[in-house]
Amino acid sequence: MSNHIYIVAGEASGEAHAARLVSALKQQQPAIYITGIGGEKMRAAGADINIDFAELAVMGLVEVIKRYPRIKGIFNQVVAELRRQPPDLLILVDYPGFNLKLAKQAKKLGIKVLYYISPKIWAWRAGRIEQIKRDVDHMAVLFPFEQEIYQTAGVAVTCVGHPLVDAVHTELSQNAAREKFALDNDIRVIGLFPGSRRSEISVLLPVMLEAAERIQQRHFPVSVVIPQAPGIDETYLHQYLAGSRLHISIIKDDFYDVIKACDAIVAASGTVTLEIALLGVPHFIIYKVSPWSYRILKRLVKIPYVGLCNIVTKQPVIKELLQDDVTSVRLEQQLMDLLTHPQRLKNAEQIRQQVREALGPSGGADNAAKLVLSLLS
């Protein structure tokens, strides 16, 4: 009988990692049966998805509290499913608030747990490592520096490498990418990447649009591209664009080609910022949560950066604007610098090399799949 794996991915970047893992597992062991929580990417890779991750994808403490009853209902549903039909392995992908509680329940049920993509214990809530030691059988981490932390704590761990090292790739030049999306080659293209959660988009997209409008009014004409994140429908984005005089393209697929088409990008903090850096496109990071969430996070977070490029290189290679600095004026200034600085492309290429070096081994998804199969045998 073939092995049964249950995977839980609670938001878009985790689901993209999970989908690559599912795909690699299916290549290495075609008969393997995979079910769980995810979205279209995991489905396309060959997993049976019974709960859509869009139900779980919220960010910020206040925002989570509002959705708590629904999230709790899904949690209970998953626990009941694991009890009724225990898998050979439970793979938990990131999303620690939900997944660490699930690991505890799985432990009680005698189900083996692999945790893929570590909670950010190096940034905040370091005490979670004790919980992980108790309830998780093996950690699969993306970054070499994470492996050291778990080894020191006596947790079974493998650094499988970051899947983005192999995944981030486009054959297209900037001109070819623009042609593909019918963008005028003589007009500068600004990418607005407001995140993959509604709670992020509602806060960040209006101020991004305002900054782009300021550039168009005060400096030169621009085209704007907005990638449509998985789980976000176009009508949701359109409500923020009504009345804008900008030339705006919402693009659903071909994410790396979209990045390549841009002269400069302003992006919500997240995995996407690594992808932009690895394609050598000038960008900066913004983030904003409710003032109450921010006050709490500020006391809890132990590292000086929020951006992954800065965290992995251990230096501020990418500009970060947070909370009160997220204004249309500050965004306009920063975008103008990235659009007009004579060294803009040279700097972006330097950053690309630094980030690539810090990301460790290639073959991330295949390495993770091999680890999974070794835990099953």
Report d(CA 237, CA 252) in Å as an integer. 12
Kindly report, residue by residue over 160-172, the tens digit of the pLDDT.
Answer: 998 889 889 999 9
Residues paired with residue 190 on neighbouring β-strands, in sequence order: 224, 264
Report d(CA 128, CA 217) in Å as an integer. 49
Report d(CA 248, CA 36) in Å as an integer. 36
Distance of CA 51 to CAs 6, 54, 60, 91, Å? 12, 9, 22, 15
> DSSP character for 189?
E
| pLDDT, mean of residues 234-247 | 92
Is residue 61 pLDDT above 70, yes or no? no
- 3-state secondary structure string across 201-221: HHHHHHHHHHHHHHHHHHCCC
* Contact residues for 148 (Cβ-Cβ < 8 A; gap 6+): none
CATH superfamily of 174-358: Glycogen Phosphorylase B; (3.40.50.2000)
Is residue 46 pLDDT above 70, yes or no? yes
Q: What is the pLDDT of residue 177?
A: 97
Minimum mean pLDDT range among 48-52, 81-85, 316-320:
48-52
- Where are the domains positioned within the chain? 4-162+360-376, 174-358
Q: What pLDDT band is residue 60 in, cutting at 50, 70 and 90?
A: low
Report d(CA 160, CA 105) in Å as an integer. 26
Is residue 56 pLDDT above 80, yes or no? no
Report d(CA 249, CA 226) in Å as an integer. 6
Q: What pLDDT band is residue 1 in, cutting at 50, 70 and 90?
A: low
Any idea which residue has 């649009």 for tokens? Answer: 209
| pLDDT, mean of residues 183-199 | 95
Residue whose C-alpha is closest to residue 286's, from 315, 272, 259, 307: 307
Mean pLDDT for the chain overall: 93
| pLDDT, mean of residues 116-133 | 90
CATH superfamily of 4-162+360-376: Glycogen Phosphorylase B; (3.40.50.2000)
Q: What is the pLDDT of residue 206?
A: 97
| pLDDT, mean of residues 2-22 | 92
Q: At what angle do helices 61-84 and 96-108 cross, to 10 degrees?
A: 30
Is it true that 4-162+360-376 and 174-358 share their CATH fold?
Answer: yes
Report d(CA 281, CA 274) in Å as an integer. 11
CA angle 116, 121, 125 (to 5 degrees): 130
Contact 273, 308 (CB under 8 A): yes
Is residue 41 pLDDT above 90, yes or no? yes
Q: Which of 210 and 51 is assigned the larger pLDDT? A: 210
Distance of CA 133 to CAs 46, 57, 244, 255, Å? 31, 26, 51, 37
* Per-position DSSP letters for 285-349, written without gaps between them: EEE---HHHHHHHHHH--SS--SHHHHHHTS--S-EEEGGG--HHHHHHHHHHHHH-TTHHHHHH
Q: What is the pLDDT of residue 58?
A: 66
Distance of CA 254 to CAs 186, 242, 257, Å? 22, 25, 5
| pLDDT, mean of residues 301-325 | 90
Q: What is the pLDDT of residue 59?
A: 60
Residue whose C-alpha is closest to residue 248's, from 200, 208, 302, 290: 208
| pLDDT, mean of residues 259-273 | 96
